[in-house]
Structure 1
Amino acid sequence: MHINELGLLNSVLQRPCRHYDARPDNEVSLLVIHNISLPAGQFGTRYVDDLFMGCIDCEAHESFVDLKGLRVSAHCFIRRTGEVIQYVPFEKRAWHAGVSEFNGRQQCNDFSVGIELEGTDTEPYTQAQYNALHLVTKALMDKYPKITRSRIVGHCDIAPGRKTDPGESFDWPYFFDLVF
């Protein structure tokens, strides 16, 4: 995988969304790993894509009530099959972290890349997802050398007490063995 000058990955599905803006300092120095499934615990639905594209039908499932009017995004979403979908160029600020802090610095969206894995905190991730995440991570590290091992974190690390993803099911040692 390769990232071009616009911050787009080659060879992945591009689904440009409107939920992003400019980075205040053009800095990319942190990778944040998340998980998401809509409805919770259901995989392979269209609803995550609909959420990031801003067209989710909040009446399609009772749990979607809180999503009405929500404007969120991720740079990429990795399905259980390993398919990577890019919504926001890495050069731009996606709206994935919310209230967050890393090493004393607030507003992690300003300087981070957000990758969503289709999953839950407790369901094991697939080998295809680890393989795809490994390739995306290597491409990110090649393009943005400030992303180092110590600057790859979970959402739980930058929003403790508020977020728990990617959860206990994410195998950090295995993932780091793939990448480093």
Structure 2
Amino acid sequence: MSSFDGWLPLAARYDSPYFDARPGPAPDDITLLVVHNISLPAGQFGGPHVSDLFTGRIDYNADPSFADLRGLKVSSHFFIRRDGSVIQYVSANDRAWHAGVSAFCGREKCNDFAIGVELEGSDFVPFEATQYAALAELTLALLAHYPLTDVQGHEHIAPGRKTDPGPLFDWEYYQKLLKEKAVHESALVSAIAGLRVVIGLSQSQ
């Protein structure tokens, strides 16, 4: 595990400058997967603006709403588009800047020990089946390298401040896909069985 550089071959690489080293030992301290949603402009899909935001290339004049993004330095490890394609901006060994002020199980600063995945979407539009499939595959790929124990939404680690991935994200369907995709790999079956998804909900429940 220590020789893994944190870049997954299933994702297209698009390097972000917005990251730094984790304070804890990687990969041993990387135990949380955080699911977000994002669209730029809000509710519009398919454009280049999310990747441009995460890589410091965004044209603030492209949309009036982008004025609020000036000076914002934010990133995610992964971004899953509506068609299921995956982009990676930061090595999972490093700390991406996605969670902000947050806490989980009594521990603050979730960026320190979490991997962030952004889904192209919003709180008001159902996610695509291709996105759930890609997220499940990504989760299994990460479990092969990191001791993930929990999957939470941004809304769960920053309650009252964030609402994503929102009420239309189907956690049960995501869990079902995880089990189905892991069935032929015994090591992953064991890892999935111990993975807690959303506020302590076990895969076995």
TM-score when scaled to structure 1?
Answer: 0.94
Q: How many residues align?
A: 174
Gap runs ≥5 in structure 2? 180-205
The residue aligned with 2:199 is: none
- Corresponding position: 1:41 with 2:43: yes
Residue of structure 1 aligned with 2:123, choices 121, 134, 137: 121
- Corresponding position: 1:22 with 2:24: no
Secondary structure of the corresponding residue to residue 77 of structure 1? strand
Counterpart amino acid of 1:6?
A: D
TM-score when scaled to structure 2?
Answer: 0.83
Q: What are the Cα deviations for residues 38-95 of structure 1, in whole angstroms up to 9, with x where unaligned?
A: 0000000110010001011111111111100100000000000100000000000000
- Corresponding position: 1:53 with 2:55: yes
Counterpart amino acid of 1:63?
A: S
Counterpart amino acid of 2:73?
A: R
State which drifts further: 106-115 or 135-144: 135-144
| Pair member with larger Rg | 2
1:113 CA drift (Å): 0.2
Quick check: 2:4–2:145 contact (8 Å CA) kept in 1? no
Counterpart amino acid of 2:12?
A: L
Counterpart amino acid of 2:133?
A: N
1:160 CA drift (Å): 0.2
Deviating runs (4+, > 6 A) in structure 1?
Answer: none
The residue aligned with 1:89 is: 91
The residue aligned with 2:7 is: 8
Q: What are the Cα deviations for residues 95-149 of structure 1, in whole angstroms up to 9, with x where unaligned?
A: 000000001100000000000000001201001101100000011112112x13x
Residue of structure 1 aligned with 2:82, choices 80, 83, 88: 80
Work out the CA distance in 1 between the residues paired with 2:139 and 2:131.
12
Work out the CA distance in 2 between the residues paired with 1:25 and 1:142.
19
1:11 CA drift (Å): 3.2
Secondary structure of the corresponding residue to residue 143 of structure 1? coil
State which drifts further: 155-164 or 59-68: 59-68
Q: CA RMSD in A?
A: 0.9
Counterpart amino acid of 1:9?
A: L
1:152 CA drift (Å): 0.2
